[in-house]
Amino acid sequence: MLLQKAALCIAVGLMLASPSYAATKDIVYASDSTAKSMDPHDTSDTYSGAIQRAMFQGLLGFDENLNVIPVLAESYTFNDTATEFTFKLRKGVKFHDGAPFNAEAVKVNIDRMMTGKYKRSSLMKPVKEVTVVDDSTIRFTLKEPFGAFANTIAHPGSLIQSPKALAQYGDEVSKHPVGTGPFIFENWVSGDHVKIKKNPDYWRGQVKVDSITFKPVPESGARLAMLRAGQAHYIYPMPAELQQVAEKDKNIELISKPSIIARYLILNTKYEPLADQRVRQAINYALDKQAIIKIAWGGAAKEVESIIPADLPFYKKQQAWPYDVAKAKELMKEAGYEKGFKVTFLTPNASNRLRATEMAQQQLKEIGITGDIQSMDAASFYNKLEGNKVDQAKDLPFIAFGGWSSSTGDADWALRPLVATEAFPPAMSNFGFFSNKDVDGYIQAGLASADNKVRGEAYGKLQDAIWPMAPWGYLFVDTLYAAKVKKLKGIYPMADGAFSVENAEFVD
C-alpha cells in the first residue's frame, strides 16, 4: 500500500504541471521492464522481443489482433498433410549492414535455431529439414503434421537476422543486432535504455520518427509522472489505480484492451514441500485472487479459469479455485505441513508485481508458508530463474511471480514452454520444473496434428488434467492499460503484451 500511495503522490503532485511538447521526432517509451537480450533466437521475454520487432522482421508476423500476416514472405503454401510449408520471399530487401535478404539468409537463421542452443530453439522442434529451392523460395519439411506452423513462423523468436552479423559476431550478436526492419540499433545500456533510430533505406519507406528510446521505469507512479511532464510519450503498463488522475489530463489518451498475458506464482515442484500436489492445491485455496487484482493490479485483470487464457484457441474453462483458507489448512495438515515451511519469494521490482508478491506472501503466511521477498529488475529476475539447474532444484525453496503470453497466438506456445518436461531452463521457461507424463503426452498430441478437432481434444484433456495438479499458484489474466500523449499516433499494444511502433508519428 505504501508503494500505491507513493505513486499517487507523484502523479497528483504533477496535476498542475504544464508540459511543453516541443516539436520532436524522438519518442521515449517508458515501461516497467528492462531489456534482456537483442538476439531474437535467444530471448525469453515479451518486452525484449517487442523491441526486436522494430529492428528485425520475420517471414510472417501479426497484426494488431494477432492475425498472421505476410512480412518478408509475400506468400506461403502447404501440402494437404501440413508437413511441408513453402514460402515465396520478398525480393530486393537488404539488411541494415547491406547483406541481401534471400532464401540462404533464412536457412542460416533456421539452421542456427535448430541447433537447440537457444531459448527459442524449441519453435523449430517440428522442423526436419530446411531447403533453399531458389533465391526467393524456401521450403520447410516437418517431422509430423503441425497445423499451427505458420503461427510459429510469425513468432518474434523466428525473426531473421543478418547472416553477415551472425558470422561476424556469433553469439555476441545480441550486442550487435542487424535486421531488415524500420529501425536500426543505435545503443543499449543494460538496465538503463535501448535506443533505435530510423532506417533511411527501409523497403516499405522511411518511418515518420527519428528515434525511439525504451526506458525501464519500474515504479508505476513515476511512469505516469514522466508522461505528464513530457519526459515520456508512451507508457506501459499504465497504472490502473491512477486512471482517474490521467483522465483529467487533456494531453493524455488512455488505451485499454483484453490480453493473453497470464500471471501466476511459479512453484518449484522439485522442492520437497512443493512437490506435494496437496500443498500446491492449498496454495491455490489460500490465494485471494480478487483482492490481488483489485489492490495490486488496480482491477485491470480477470481471474484465470484454466491454465491458458480464454482468448487463445482450444481454451477450456475449468472450475475456479475458491478462496478457502480453512480448506487450504486442511490440505497442509493432510500433507504433513501443518506447521508450514519457509521459501524465498522472488519477483521483478515493477510496482504492481512487487505489490502482488507482497500480498501473496501475506496470504500464504495464513497457512504457514513464510519467507522474505527478493525483488530485482526483470532481466536479473529471469537470469536468476534461468540459472537454476534441475539437479539442484530440490535445494531451492522458492515461489516466484511469473507471467507469460503465447506470442504465437496458439495454445501450444502457452503450454509447451511452461509445463513440458523437456522445457526445463535454460532452454525454455519451465522454471518450476513441473513434469507429468500425461501432460507431456497431451502436448505432443496437440503438436503432432494439423486437425483442429484433434488438437482441441488433446488440449482440452490437458487442461482438465493439469488444473487440479496445480503446477502454479493460479492468479489472473491482464487487461492491457497503456497511455500516451495525444499527439502521438500509430503505436499500439498487442494482446500478448508486445507493441508495434512502425507507424508511430507525431501529429498536430
311 & 454 share domain? yes
For residue 426, the model assigns a pLDDT of 86
Q: Are 500 and 491 in contact (CB under 8 A)?
A: yes
Q: Is 169 inside any structural domain? A: no
Q: Give the residue from 415, 410, 218, 241 showing the smallest Cα distance to 314.
A: 410
For residue 401, the model assigns a pLDDT of 98
Peptide bond before residue 237 is cis, with ω within 30 degrees of 0? yes
352 & 288 share domain? yes
Q: What Rg value do the Cα atoms of the chain yield, rounded?
A: 23
Q: Which stretches of 378-477 are DSSP H helices?
A: 378-386, 411-419, 437-448, 452-469
Cell of 3: 508503494
75 & 194 share domain? no
What is the rounded distance in angstroms from the CA atom of residue 482 to the CA atom of residue 240?
9
Q: Are 393 and 270 in contact (CB under 8 A)?
A: yes
441 & 405 share domain? yes
495 & 467 share domain? no
What is the rounded distance in angstroms from the CA atom of residue 5 to the CA atom of residue 1?
6
Q: What is the pLDDT of residues 457-499, one digit of tens each?
A: 999 999 999 999 999 999 999 999 999 999 999 999 999 999 9
399 & 493 share domain? no
Q: Is 24 inside any structural domain? A: yes
What is the rounded distance in angstroms from the CA atom of residue 38 to the CA atom of residue 172?
10
For residue 508, the model assigns a pLDDT of 83
For residue 233, the model assigns a pLDDT of 98
Q: Are 183 and 61 in contact (CB under 8 A)?
A: no
For residue 280, the model assigns a pLDDT of 98
For residue 23, the model assigns a pLDDT of 61
The number of domains in the chain is 3
Q: Are strands 252-267 and 398-405 parallel, antiparallel or unpaired?
A: antiparallel
**Domain C-terminal end among 163, 195, 214:** 163
CA atoms within 13 A of residue 377's CA, in its CB half-sphere: 15
Indicate the length of the chain as a whole number: 508
**Torsion region of 52: left, alpha or beta (phi above 0 gives left; psi -120 to 50 gives alpha):** alpha
Q: Is 41 inside any structural domain? A: no
For residue 200, the model assigns a pLDDT of 97
Average pLDDT, 10 consecutive residues per value, the chain (508 residues):
42 45 81 96 95 98 93 96 96 98 98 95 95 98 92 96 98 97 97 96 97 96 96 95 93 95 98 98 98 96 97 96 98 98 97 97 98 96 96 97 95 96 92 98 91 95 98 97 96 94 94
**Torsion region of 297: left, alpha or beta (phi above 0 gives left; psi -120 to 50 gives alpha):** alpha
472 & 333 share domain? yes
What is the rounded distance in angstroms from the CA atom of residue 275 to the CA atom of residue 272?
5
142 & 204 share domain? no
For residue 450, the model assigns a pLDDT of 85
Surface-to-core class of residue 134, CB atoms within 10 Å of its CB (0-12 exposed, 13-18 middle, 19+ buried): exposed
Grid cell 543478418 in the structure block, residue: 162
Residue 238 belongs to domain with CATH number? 3.40.190.10
For residue 448, the model assigns a pLDDT of 86
Backbone angles phi, psi at 407, to 5 degrees: -80, 5
Instruction: Indicate the angle between helix axes 452-469 and 437-448, nearest 10 degrees.
Output: 160
- Amino acid occupying residue 167: A
Domain that holds residue 446: 259-479
For residue 13, the model assigns a pLDDT of 45
Q: Is 141 inside any structural domain? A: yes
**Domain C-terminal end among 132, 163, 194:** 163
326 & 434 share domain? yes
For residue 11, the model assigns a pLDDT of 42
Residue 392 belongs to domain with CATH number? 3.10.105.10
DSSP for residue 117: -
Q: Is 52 inside any structural domain? A: no
Cell of 46: 515479451
**Secondary structure (3-state) at 84:** strand
Q: Which residues contact 435 (CB under 8 A, 6 or more apart)?
A: 269, 421
What is the rounded distance in angstroms from the CA atom of residue 13 to the CA atom of residue 15?
6
What is the rounded distance in angstroms from the CA atom of residue 119 to the CA atom of residue 123?
9
205 & 74 share domain? no
Residue 146 belongs to domain with CATH number? 3.90.76.10
453 & 309 share domain? yes
Q: Are 282 and 335 in contact (CB under 8 A)?
A: yes
**Domain C-terminal end among 163, 197, 221:** 163
399 & 273 share domain? yes
For residue 12, the model assigns a pLDDT of 43
Q: Is 47 inside any structural domain? A: no
What is the rounded distance in angstroms from the CA atom of residue 121 to the CA atom of residue 175?
19
Q: Is 268 inside any structural domain? A: yes
Instruction: Indicate the angle between helix axes 220-229 and 2-13, nearest 10 degrees.
Output: 10
